[in-house]
Chain A
Amino acid sequence: MSNKSLLRLLQAPSIILLLLWMLIPLGMTLYFSFIRYVLNNLRKPEWTTPSISNWRGLGNYEYVLYKSKDFWFAVQNSLLIVGSIIILTVIFGLAISILINRTFPGRGIVRVLLISPFFVMPSVNAVLWINMILDPVLGLNGLAIEGLNQILKDLQDLPLLGRFFSLWPVFEPISFRATQTSSYAVIIMVTWQWTPFAVLIFMTSLQSEDQQQIEAAILDGANAWSRFINLTIPHLARPISIVIMIQAIFHLSLYAEIEIVSRGNGNKNLPYLIGEFSSNNIGAASATGVFAVILANIVAIFLLRIVGKSLME
C-alpha cells in the first residue's frame, strides 16, 4: 500500500463522520421538503408519516413562496436585523475601542465592564431589555418619558414662560412590542450584547497600531479624522471583516430574542418562520430551511466579495 493511500485511509473516518454530520440533516431536510409531511391531520392521517408516496414535488416551495404571507417578510426582516446589527456594532465597537485605547485611571475595570454584556445569556438579555428598559410603562423607556412629561408640565406651569411651552406636545413612550418596532427592540438588545465582541477584537488590534506612523501623519498635517480614515481604518480592515463575518453567521439564526420580544408578531426572520411551520407542517418548514441555506450562502458570497479580500491578504 502506498504512503498516500494509507494517509487517505487514516483520514477517512473523520472525513466520513464530518460528511455524515452535514449530509444526513441536509438530506433529510431536502427529502422532507419534497413530500407532504405534517404532524397532525385528521382527514389525511397518511401524511403524518414521512413517506415517498406522499411526494409533493415543488409544492412545499410553492406554498412557502406564494401562499404563506410571511416568507418574503421574513427574508427582508432577516436581512434588516443582521445588517443593522452589523453596522451598529462596528460603529459602536470602533468608537468605544478608540476611546478606551488611551490610558486613564480605572481602565482595567472599565474594560471588564465593557466586555461583560457578551457573557449574558441571550434569552436573559432579551427578558431584561424588553421588561426593564424598553417597556413603555415599567421600563426605563416609560420612566424616562414620564419624567420628561413631568418636566414639561412644570415648565408649562411657570408664570411667564409657561405660555411658550404650552405649545409643546406631550411625549409618548415608544412601545417596542408593537408590530413595526419589535425588530428594533431585537436590534437594540443584540447590538448591546455584541458590541463588546467588536470592542474586544478592535481593541487588541488597535494596540498593535504603529505609533510612528501616526506621528508621521501628524507631521504630514493629517487631523484626527484623517488619521482615523487613512491609517486606523485600513489597519483595522481585517478585524472589521472578522467581526462582520462572524456576526453574519450568528445573527442569521437569531431566535430567542424574537420569541421573547413579540413571539414573532410583526417581526420574524427565517429561523423563526421555520419554527412556526414546524409546529405542524414539517414539509413547509423544510422548504423554508432550504431557502434559509440559500440565503445564508448568498450573504456569505456577498460578504466574501466585499470583506473577504482583506482576510485573504
Chain B
Amino acid sequence: MAKLKIKNLKKSYENEQIIHGVNLEIKDGEFVVFVGPSGCGKSTLLRLIAGLEEITEGEISIGDKVVNEIAPSKRGVAMVFQNYALYPHMNVYKNMSFALRQARMNKDEINRRVKNAAEILQISDFLLKTPRSLSGGQRQRVAIGRAIVREPDVFLFDEPLSNLDAALRVNTRLEIARLHKRLGTTMIYVTHDQVEAMTLADKIVVLNNGKIEQIGSPIELYENPLNMFVAGFIGSPKMNFLNSKTLTKNISTIVKGAKREDIIGIRPEHLLKTTYTKSIISARLDLIENLGENVLVHMILNNDDQIIAKMNTAPKEPIGTKLHFTANIKNLHLFNKK
C-alpha cells in the first residue's frame, strides 16, 4: 500500500504534447477514477504511472520513492488491461502465477497466492483452462487475479469493463468495489463511463486535453463543478446551459451579481415545472422519453438550443406547447464564459 504523487508531469510524442503538466496527490488506499473524453490522455497518464511510457518532464513518486527511473515491474504497480491481455498459451493458473515465477518465488507461496486470489474472484474452477475457453467476464477476473497475486501497492485499471455487456458490467463493478474494500489497496481506475466513476470513486479526476479540470469527490463534482466542462461531463443527462438571451428573466435578478455574458447551468433533474410568471425559462415541448421510473422531456429554446428536464410524470400538454420552468436557487450553477 502506498500513496502516490505526481508533480508537474508532462508527456510528448515526437513534437506533440499529450499531457500538459499534471499535479495530483493520491492518498494511501484511495480509489481514484480518471474520467474524460476519448483521447484526453487518461490511458497515457496511467501508462506513465505504470512505467510503460517514458516521462518527458516532471516526477512520479509511489510511496516515498521517485519512480521515474525505476523499471515497471519494480514499481509495485499491477495493471489490468482493457482487452485483458492474458497470455493465450498459458492456462489460468500459469497466467496468474507468471509474475511470481518470474520473481522466482517459492512454489508453495505461489500456490497459496494463486489459490487465494482465485477464491476471492471465484475462478477456482477454471484454473486449468486456457483463456480462449473462458467467457469475457471470466477472462476479466483472471486479469484481475493476475494483478492481485502480485500484492501490488497500487492497482491500475484501464477501462476494465468496457468489453463486457451491460449486466456483467454492473456485477463486475460491484465486485471491484468489494475488492477495494477487502484489500484496501490504492486503486487508479480509468473509464469514460461516468456511472462507474460516480459509484466507485473516492476521488474523481476529470481530465480534458491532457490537463486536469477538477479533482474532487463524486458529490463535490456533482454539486460544485468548477467549470462548464466538468459540469457537462458529470451527470446524466447532461447539464443544461442557458445564456441570458434564453432566460425569461434578467440574469442578475435570478442570480445576484451575475453579468450578462455569464451562463447559468441547471441539471435536468432540478428543473421544476411552473407558470410563466414564476418561470426562469420557457421552451417548446419536442419529445418525451418515458423511462418508467422517470421521464425525460426534450425541449427546444427560442434560439434552437435543446434542453432536457427529468420529471416524475410526463407533461399532459401536446407537442409544440410552450412549457415554463424554474429551479431552486441552490441548484443553479453560474459560469463565466472564458
Contact = CB atoms under 8 A, between A and B. Distances in A.
Contacts of B90: 230
B103 interface: yes
Contact of B102 (A212, A215, A221, A235): A221
A218 B72 contact: yes
A219 B98 contact: no
B83 interface: yes
Interface string A83-118: 000000000000000000000000000000000000
Interface in B45-91: 50-52, 72-74, 77-79, 81-83, 85-90
Nearest to B156: A219
Interface in A14-36: none
Contacts of A221: 73-74, 99, 102-103
A224 interface: no
Contacts of A210: 83, 85
A216 B83 CA distance: 11
Given A221-B73, A230-B98, A216 B85 contact: yes
Contacts of B74: 221
Most B Cβ at <10 Å: residue of A220, A226, A230: A220
Contacts, number: 60
Contacts of B79: 215-216, 219
A218 B98 contact: no
A222 B102 contact: yes
A177 to B, nearest CB: 46
A217 B88 CA distance: 12
A210 B87 CA distance: 10
Contacts of B72: 218-219
A231 B102 CA distance: 13
A219 B51 CA distance: 8
A213 interface: yes
Contact of B99 (A220, A235, A237): A220
A212 B85 CA distance: 6
Prevailing SS type, chain A contact patch: helix
Nearest to A231: B87
A213 B84 CA distance: 8
Interface residues of A, number: 17
A147 interface: no
Nearest to A222: B102
Contact of B73 (A213, A220, A234, A237): A220
Interface in A220-272: 220-222, 226, 230-231, 234-235, 237
Nearest to B75: A219
B73 A219 contact: yes
Given A222-B98, A222-B102, A230-B98, A217 B87 contact: yes
B78 A219 contact: yes
A219 B102 contact: no
Prevailing SS type, chain B contact patch: loop
Nearest to B98: A220
Contact of B89 (A215, A217, A218, A234): A234
Nearest to B79: A219
Nearest to B90: A230
A222 B102 CA distance: 6
Contact of A212 (B81, B103, B150): B81
A219 B77 CA distance: 8
A219 B50 contact: yes
A163 B158 CA distance: 68
B130 to A, nearest CB: 11
A220 B52 contact: no
Contacts of B77: 219
B73 A230 contact: no
A179 to B, nearest CB: 45
A108 to B, nearest CB: 20
Contact of A218 (B52, B86, B103, B146): B52
A91 B79 CA distance: 33
A210 B83 CA distance: 10
A234 B88 CA distance: 9
A235 B52 CA distance: 22
Contacts of A212: 81-83, 85
Interface in B106-160: 146, 150
Contacts of B81: 212, 215-216
A215 B99 contact: no
A226 B102 contact: yes
A217 B94 CA distance: 12
Contacts of A217: 87, 98
Nearest to A223: B102
Nearest to B50: A219
Contacts of B99: 219-221
Contacts of A234: 88-89
B294 to A, nearest CB: 40
A220 B73 CA distance: 6
Interface of A: 210, 212-213, 215-222, 226, 230-231, 234-235, 237
16 contacts: A212-B81, A212-B82, A212-B83, A213-B86, A216-B86, A216-B146, A217-B87, A218-B52, A218-B72, A220-B73, A220-B150, A221-B99, A221-B103, A230-B98, A231-B89, A235-B89
Given A213-B85, A220-B146, A234-B88, 4 more contacts: A216-B85, A219-B51, A219-B79, A220-B102
Listed from nearest, the 4 A-B pairs whose CB atoms lie closest are A221-B73, A220-B99, A234-B89, A212-B85
